[in-house]
C-alpha cells in the first residue's frame, strides 16, 4: 500500500499517460485502461511516483479527449468505471499514485448540458451554463466579436435560433459560464466522484481560463485588437482573472477533506509573476512551469529560469514543476535537434523543420527533415532530463520520452486528428506527432501497442526505439531513465535547496549541488569540459575520458 505521505507531490516523478496511445488491450486501435493495467509492471520499473492520465472520458475526440461529454464516466472505447477502479488498485499496489485530468473551462458540444442548452433556447437557465450572446449586424448575423480561438478560426459559433456561443478552443468545446453556481456544484461533484474512487490528485486543464467577465450586450464587448491590448493582470475579460482563485479555494476545501490532502496542479499559461496564485496552498497547490519547455538549449537561459522558478515556488511554499515534453508540444529530443532559426517569423518558411521561440509554435513538415540532427537532439534531451531529475520540485515526464522518441512527422494530412491542423488550416501540423501510439516491441502489427492498426500511424523507425530493443540494454535511453529515477529516490531528501557552483557555470555549462553532496554538472556545448572531483553516479551519455564531461552531456556526482 501507499505510504500516507502528505508531501509526496513536492518532489514527485510524474509520468503522463495519453491513454488512447499508451497500450491497446481490446484491439480496436485505441489505447485503453486495461492496456495501462497490462503495463503496470513496466510503470513500476520506471520508479515513478505517479501517473497523470490525460482525459479518458466519453468524447467524440474533436480535441483528443479534451472535449468531454461526461465528466463522471469512462469512454466505452477506453474502458469502464470498473476498469478505472482496477487500474487505481493495481497502480496503488505498486506504489504509483493516480492523477486525473479535469477539464473545467469547456464541456464538449455533446455534453448533456450543451444539448439541453441548444434545445431550451435564448434566455433559458440551460443556456446560462454557457456563454451565449446575440450577434451584431441587422439580424445578428455577425458574431458578437471578431475574436479568434486558440486553435484558429472564430471564437463564436452560431446556433439555429441565431444566438452565438463562445468557444476559446474548437467549436466542439463550448466555454462554461463559471458565474453560474450550478457549474460550481457540478464540478465539486466531479472532484468527489474521482477522489472517492481513489484518485490522488488532479491536473487542471486551462486553469487560467475559467473566470470571465463578458457583458451581456455584445456592443460593449471589446474588439480583438482591444482585447489583445489589454493587460493580463487579473482584470482581462478572458484570461487569468483574479476571481478564478475563488473557484480553487472551494476545490481546496474538498481536496483537504481527504487524508492525506489530495493534490492539484494547474495548467496555467500566465505571466510568471502570477503563477504563485495558482500554486498557493489555499488554491490548487502546484502549477506547471513551462519555462524550460519553451527555452533554448542554453546554459544561461536554463540557469535564469531555474533560479526564477525556485523563487516563485518559494513565495507560496509550493514546490516547482519541470516539464520538457507533453501531449501539446514537439518532443524535446526533436526540439533540441533543430537549428535555432530564431523568431516566429520563420514559421512561414515552407519546407524545413522550424524552431520558433515558442515550443507550441513549432511547424513541422511531412517527411522532409533536412535540418534535424536526430542524434544530437537525443543526446541533448537526455542531458536535459538528467538535469531536470536533479532539480528540487516535481518532474513531469511524457510517455515515450523514456524511449528517447522523436516527434513523428510521417503522418499524412488525411490521417491527422488535431483541430489545430484543420483550423489553421493546414499551416500548423498540430500535435499528432507526439501522440502516436508507443512502440513496445520491435515487430508486430503495431509494435506491440495492440492487435489492430493504431489510430495514428507509427513510422518504421519505431522498431529500433521500442521498449523491447532498449529493455535491459546498457546505455539505452530507457535504461538511463530507470537508473536515474531509481537513484533519484535514494538521493532525494526533504531539503529542497539548490546551491549553484558558480565556478562551473558559464556560457556552456551549469552545475549545482543538492543536500548530501549530490552534484549535477551539465555541458551544453560541443567541446568537453573538466569534471570536478567526485564519484560519478550516472551520466546521460558515455564519458570517454576520465575527468572530462563531453558536449551535450550531464553527469551526477557524489562529493
Ligand atoms: C490544454 C490541453 C490541450 C487542449 C486544450 C483545450 O491546453 O493540454 O491538449 O487542447 O487544453 O482543452
Predicted confidence (pLDDT) per residue in 279-317, tens digit: 999 999 999 999 999 888 999 999 999 999 999 999 999
What is the extent of the structural domain holding 145?
A: 112-166
Q: pLDDT (tens digit, 9 = 90+) per residue, 504-542?
A: 999 999 999 999 999 999 999 999 999 999 999 999 999
- Is residue 537 classed as helix, strand or coil in its secondary structure? strand
User: 10 Å Cβ neighbour count for 425?
Assistant: 10
Q: Whose CA is nearest to atom 3 of ligand 1?
A: 328
Q: What are phi and psi of 477, to 5 degrees?
A: -65, -40
Looking up residue 505, the CATH number of its domain turns out to be: 2.60.40.1180
Residue in 275, 287, 489, 533 with CA at minimum distance from that of residue 390: 489
Q: What is the pLDDT of residue 1?
A: 57
- Identify whether residues 20 and 129 lie together within a single domain: no
Q: Looking at the predicted structure, is the pLDDT value of residue 406 above 60?
A: yes
Q: Is 432 in the pocket of ligand 1 (CB under 6 A)?
A: no
d(CA 75, ligand 1 centre) in Å: 18
Atom of ligand 1 nearest to the CA of 66: 12
- Identify whether residues 29 and 140 lie together within a single domain: no
Q: Looking at the predicted structure, is the pLDDT value of residue 161 above 70?
A: yes
Out of 64, 66, 104, 166, mutate this one to test ligand 1's pocket (max ligand atoms within 8 Å of CB): namely 66
- Identify whether residues 95 and 142 lie together within a single domain: no
490 located within any domain:
no
How far apart are alpha carbons 343 and 229 in whole angstroms? 21
Residue 401 is among the residues annotated as catalytic for this protein: no
- Identify whether residues 156 and 208 lie together within a single domain: no
* Least confidently predicted of 42-56, 166-180, 346-360: 346-360
- Identify whether residues 39 and 20 lie together within a single domain: yes
- Identify whether residues 435 and 346 lie together within a single domain: yes
282 located within any domain:
yes
Mean per-residue pLDDT, 134-144: 96
Q: Looking at the predicted structure, is the pLDDT value of residue 274 above 60?
A: yes
Cα–chain center distance at 27: 27
Q: Is 169 in the pocket of ligand 1 (CB under 6 A)?
A: yes
Residue 413 is among the residues annotated as catalytic for this protein: no
- Identify whether residues 75 and 124 lie together within a single domain: no
Determine contact, residues 79/34, Cβ cutoff 8 Å.
Answer: yes
- Identify whether residues 334 and 409 lie together within a single domain: yes
486 located within any domain:
no
Question: 435, 453, 481: which is the final residue of a domain?
Answer: 481
Neighbouring C-alpha atoms within 13 Å toward the C-beta of 105: 25
Q: What is the pLDDT of residue 350?
A: 35
d(CA 67, ligand 1 centre) in Å: 9
385 located within any domain:
yes
User: 10 Å Cβ neighbour count for 201?
Assistant: 28
Given the residues 83, 205, 402, 407, select the one marked as catalytic. Answer: 205
Q: What is the pLDDT of residue 529?
A: 97
Q: What are phi and psi of 101, to 5 degrees?
A: -90, 125
d(CA 125, ligand 1 centre) in Å: 27
Q: Which residue has the higher pLDDT, 429 or 180?
A: 180
Q: pLDDT (tens digit, 9 = 90+) per residue, 436-490?
A: 999 999 999 899 999 999 999 999 999 999 999 999 999 999 999 999 999 999 9
Looking up residue 417, the CATH number of its domain turns out to be: 3.20.20.80
β-strands 97-102, 201-204: how paired?
parallel
Question: 142, 166, 190: which is the final residue of a domain?
Answer: 166
Q: Is 328 in the pocket of ligand 1 (CB under 6 A)?
A: yes
Mean per-residue pLDDT, 71-98: 98
- Identify whether residues 471 and 421 lie together within a single domain: yes
Name the band, by pLDDT with cuts 50, 70 and 90, for residue 137: very high
- Identify whether residues 138 and 197 lie together within a single domain: no
174 located within any domain:
no
Q: Is 156 in the pocket of ligand 1 (CB under 6 A)?
A: no
Atom of ligand 1 nearest to the CA of 67: 12
How far apart are alpha carbons 127 and 160 in whole angstroms? 14
Average pLDDT, the chain: 93
Q: What is the pLDDT of residue 4?
A: 74
Q: What is the pLDDT of residue 65?
A: 98
460 located within any domain:
yes
How many domains does the chain divide into?
Answer: 3
- Identify whether residues 438 and 394 lie together within a single domain: yes
d(CA 46, ligand 1 centre) in Å: 26
Name the band, by pLDDT with cuts 50, 70 and 90, for residue 3: low
Determine contact, residues 69/16, Cβ cutoff 8 Å.
Answer: no
Question: 437, 456, 481: which is the final residue of a domain?
Answer: 481
Q: What is the pLDDT of residue 340?
A: 61
Give the bridge partners for 549, in sequence order: 529
Mean per-residue pLDDT, 237-245: 98
Mean per-residue pLDDT, 229-237: 97
459 located within any domain:
yes
Name the band, by pLDDT with cuts 50, 70 and 90, for residue 371: low
Q: Whose CA is nearest to atom 7 of ligand 1?
A: 206
Mean per-residue pLDDT, 119-138: 97
* Least confidently predicted of 18-32, 187-201, 353-367: 353-367
2 located within any domain:
no
Q: Looking at the predicted structure, is the pLDDT value of residue 426 above 80?
A: no
- 370 to 332, 336, 344, 375: CA distances (angstroms): 18, 15, 19, 13
Task: Judge residue 42's burial from the number of C-beta atoms within 10 Å of its C-beta, 0-12 exposed, 13-18 middle, 19 or more buried.
Answer: middle
For the chain, the residue count is 559
Determine contact, residues 496/483, Cβ cutoff 8 Å.
Answer: no
- Identify whether residues 35 and 68 lie together within a single domain: yes
Amino acid at each position: 500500500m501507499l505510504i500516507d505521505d502528505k508531501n509526496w507531490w513536492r518532489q514527485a516523478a510524474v509520468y503522463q499517460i495519453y491513454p488512447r496511445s499508451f497500450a491497446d488491450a481490446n484491439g480496436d486501435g485505441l489505447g485503453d485502461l486495461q492496456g495501462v493495467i497490462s503495463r503496470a509492471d513496466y510503470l513500476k520499473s520506471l520508479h515513478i511516483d505517479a501517473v497523470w492520465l490525460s482525459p479518458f472520458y466519453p468524447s467524440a475526440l474533436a480535441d483528443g479527449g479534451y472535449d468531454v461529454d461526461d465528466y463522471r464516466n469512462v469512454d466505452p472505447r477506453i474502458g469502464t468505471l470498473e476498469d478505472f477502479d482496477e487500474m487505481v488498485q493495481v497502480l496503488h499496489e505498486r506504489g504509483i499514485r493516480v492523477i486525473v485530468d479535469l477539464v473545467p473551462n469547456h464541456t464538449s458540444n455533446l455534453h448533456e448540458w450543451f444539448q439541453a442548452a441548444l434545445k431550451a433556447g435564448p434566455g433559458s437557465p440551460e443556456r446560462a451554463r454557457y456563454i451565449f450572446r446575440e450577434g451584431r449586424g441587422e439580424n445578428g448575423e455577425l458574431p458578437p466579436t471578431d475574436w479568434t480561438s486558440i486553435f484558429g478560426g472564430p471564437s463564436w459559433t452560431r446556433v439555429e435560433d441565431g444566438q452565438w456561443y463562445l468557444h476559446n478552443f474548437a467549436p466542439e468545446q463550448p466555454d462554461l459560464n463559471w458565474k453560474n453556481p450550478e457549474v460550481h456544484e457540478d464540478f465539486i461533484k466531479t472532484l468527489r466522484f474521482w477522489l472517492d474512487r481513489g484518485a490522488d490528485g488532479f491536473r487542471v486543464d486551462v486553469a487560467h481560463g475559467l473566470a470571465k467577465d463578458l457583458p451581456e450586450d455584445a456592443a460593449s464587448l471589446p474588439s480583438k485588437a482591444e482585447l489583445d491590448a489589454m493587460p493580463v493582470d487579473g482584470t482581462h475579460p478572458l484570461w487569468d482573472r483574479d476571481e478564478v482563485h475563488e473557484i480553487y479555494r472551494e476545490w481546496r476545501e474538498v481536496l483537504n477533506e481527504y487524508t492525506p490532502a489530495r493534490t492539484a496542479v494547474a495548467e496555467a499559461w500566465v505571466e510568471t509573476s502570477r503563477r504563485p496564485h495558482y500554486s498557493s496552498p489555499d488554491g490548487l497547490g502546484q502549477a506547471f512551469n513551462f519555462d524550460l519547455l519553451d527555452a533554448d538549449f542554453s546554459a544561461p537561459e536554463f540557469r535564469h529560469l531555474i533560479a526564477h522558478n525556485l523563487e516563485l515556488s518559494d513565495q507560496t511554499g509550493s514546490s516547482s514543476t519541470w516539464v520538457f515534453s507533453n501531449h501539446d508540444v514537439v518532443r524535446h529530443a526533436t526540439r533540441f535537434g533543430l537549428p535555432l532559426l530564431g523568431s516566429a517569423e520563420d514559421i512561414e518558411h515552407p519546407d524545413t523543420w522550424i524552431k520558433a521561440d515558442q515550443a507550441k509554435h513549432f511547424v513541422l513538415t511531412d517527411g522532409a527533415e533536412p535540418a534535424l540532427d536526430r542524434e544530437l537532439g537525443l543526446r541533448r534531451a537526455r542531458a536535459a532530463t538528467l538535469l531536470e531529475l536533479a532539480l528540487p520540485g516535481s518532474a513531469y515526464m511524457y510517455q515515450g520520452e523514456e524511449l528517447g522518441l522523436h516527434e513523428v512527422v510521417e503522418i499524412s494530412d488525411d490521417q491527422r486528428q488535431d483541430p489545430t491542423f484543420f483550423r489553421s488550416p493546414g499551416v500548423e501540423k498540430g500535435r499528432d506527432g507526439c501522440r502516436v501510439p508507443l512502440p513496445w516491441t520491435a515487430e508486430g502489427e503495431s509494435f506491440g501497442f495492440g492487435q489492430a492498426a493504431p489510430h495514428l500511424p507509427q513510422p518504421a523507425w519505431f522498431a529500433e526505439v521500442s521498449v523491447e530493443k532498449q529493455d535491459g540494454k546498457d546505455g539505452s535511453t530507457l535504461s538511463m531513465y530507470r537508473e536515474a529515477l531509481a537513484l533519484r529516490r535514494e538521493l532525494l531528501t526533504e531539503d529542497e535547496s539548490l546551491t549553484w557552483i558558480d565556478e562551473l557555470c558559464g556560457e556552456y555549462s551549469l552545475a549545482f549541488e543538492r543536500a548530501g553532496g549530490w552534484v549535477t554538472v551539465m555541458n551544453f556545448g560541443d567541446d568537453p569540459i573538466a569534471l570536478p572531483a567526485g564519484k560519478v553516479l550516472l551520466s546521460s551519455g558515455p564519458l570517454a575520458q576520465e575527468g572530462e564531461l563531453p558536449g551535450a552531456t550531464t553527469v551526477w556526482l557524489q562529493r
